Structures are given as C-alpha cells and as structure tokens.
Amino acid sequence: MPIHEFLTRHVYFPLLRRGHSREIGKLVVFLLSAIFHEYWASVPLRLFAAWAFLAMLVQAPIMIIETKIDKVIKLSPLLS
C-alpha cells in the first residue's frame, strides 16, 4: 500500500491536474510500478529477468483491450 499511495499522490494526481486523461495517468503509474518492482526484486536477488518485466508490461495493453471488450459486451443486450 505505501507504494500505491506514493504513486497515486505524487504521479497520478499531478498528471490529472496537468490535464492528462485518467487512462494516461493509470498507464504511467502502472509502468513506474513495473519498473520499481523489477528493480526491487532483481537487486537483492542479483538476478534480472527481462521476461518477467516484459510480461508485466504486456499486461497494460491487455487491460485496455479487456476494458473495451467488457464495455461492448455490456452494451450488446441493450442493443437487442
């Protein structure tokens, strides 16, 4: 939770105040979180696993696509 609160307070809300969309704010926070988590996991273990970092980064576009599909599926019963 401390990392979430820090990124929300110091990254997400300032981006919103500067006029960026919520999606951009979420994406930036997600990418920073992925970078920090990879760093904090790889330094103590002395192991950098690029595949794990890339797998985290691939989740962002998947979440965007999933949200768009979910909106279409929820709207389809209303169209019938």
Longest Cα separation, the chain: 56
**Backbone angles phi and psi of 49, in degrees to 5:** -110, 100
Residue 4 is a catalytic residue: no
- Residues 59 and 69: their CA atoms lie apart, in Å, by 15
From the list 4, 10, 20, 37, the catalytic residue is 37
User: Known catalytic residues?
Assistant: 37
